Amino acid sequence: MGSAAPAGASSGDAAANELYAGAGGDALFGVYDGHGQHGHHVSKFVKERLATELGKLTAADLADSKVAEREMHAAHLRANEALKHSGIDVSLSGSTACTVVKRGRRLLVANVGDSRAVLGRVDPSRPAALVAQDLSIDQKPDAPNERARIEGGGGQVHPSIVPGVGYAGPARVWDPSRRFGLACSRSMGDTTYYGPNRSGVIAEPEVTTHRLDKRDRLVIVGSDGVWDRISSQEAVEIARSCRDAEQASEKITAVARERWRRDGPMADDITAVVVSLG
């Protein structure tokens, strides 16, 4: 829980001209989903600081994919260090950071946490349909590579233990004292969960590159409140059915919100950014 801060464009806070990133153009957009008591402050800080850090990247930095990935990685670490000295209490508060940088026909995606970026591409067998391609991987504690990293350094991954019941809820990574557990394995902030030998919650992004072609139509970036109720493919199909990206972001969040309401009294933060690629 907390707040999800969109950057670039999202349901309810962006003009239509912010929702388009045509061929050959440059753009920066993302979703930052805060959690903990000060999560709303963390997500706002991370959104603004990452925009500043990524704005420093030069054309030369972005010209080569490997260099660009390395620079995006470093920008996130600098933003996280700045966050720790910001005056915000980030001991038990943090934020995801799923950021997309479009440079010409190349997408660079940096992901920290369990928000997700998805590409909608024309299906060659059905030209009127779009197929979803995940551009990031949800960093959950029980994902095989994340569990191996955490447990390999001496950390623990398991759900909460409820007296008289046993394990309950999602898998969590636990702080060294075993008192606090977090349901995502990477986060900006959350310093209590950082363990030795990378055995806890880390702020290192996974950065990937995608070369756009004429089949690519749109990008969706959403918080886990979207993806816990809507699959990547369904989100792309919803976006395809809408007249523009702004309506698409509104409809995706509305569908997710209704499913949370139907399933019970609790609802996670729900934010979706939809960007048309032309």
Taking the C-alpha atoms of residue 84 and residue 148, their distance in angstroms, rounded to an integer, is: 26
For the chain, 278 residues long, the average pLDDT of each consecutive 10-residue run is: 53 37 78 96 97 91 91 97 98 98 93 98 91 98 97 96 93 95 97 94 97 95 96 98 95 96 85 92
Contact between residue 62 and residue 3 where contact means Cβ atoms under 8 Å apart: no
Strand ranges (E), the chain: 4-7, 26-35, 94-95, 97-103, 106-112, 116-123, 126-134, 157-162, 166-174, 181-182, 188-189, 206-211, 216-222, 272-276
For the chain, report the end-to-end CA distance as a whole number of angstroms.
Answer: 34
pLDDT the model gives residue 23: 57
The pLDDT of residue 7: 65
Fold of 4-138+204-276: Phosphatase 2c; domain 1 (3.60.40)
pLDDT, residue 172, reads 97
Q: Where in the chain is the domain with CATH 3.60.40.10?
A: 4-138+204-276
Q: Which of 254, 251, 250 is nearest to 262 (CA)?
A: 254
Model pTM above 0.85: yes
**DSSP run (H or E) holding 72:** helix 65-84
Residue with tokens 């990524």: 54
Q: What is the pLDDT of residue 15?
A: 29
Query: What six digits make up the tokens of 262?
Result: 């139907």
Distance CA 68, CA 47 (A): 19
CA 13 to chain centre: 18
- Cα(264)–Cα(38) distance, rounded to whole angstroms? 25
- Helix locations, 144-204, DSSP H: 144-152
**Cα 253 from Cα 234, distance rounded (Å):** 12
Residue 135: which of 214, 69, 23, 210 has the closest Cα?
210
Query: In the numeric block, which tokens belong to residue 231?
Result: 């699959």
* Nearest residue to 249 (alpha-carbon basis) of 31, 23, 53: 31
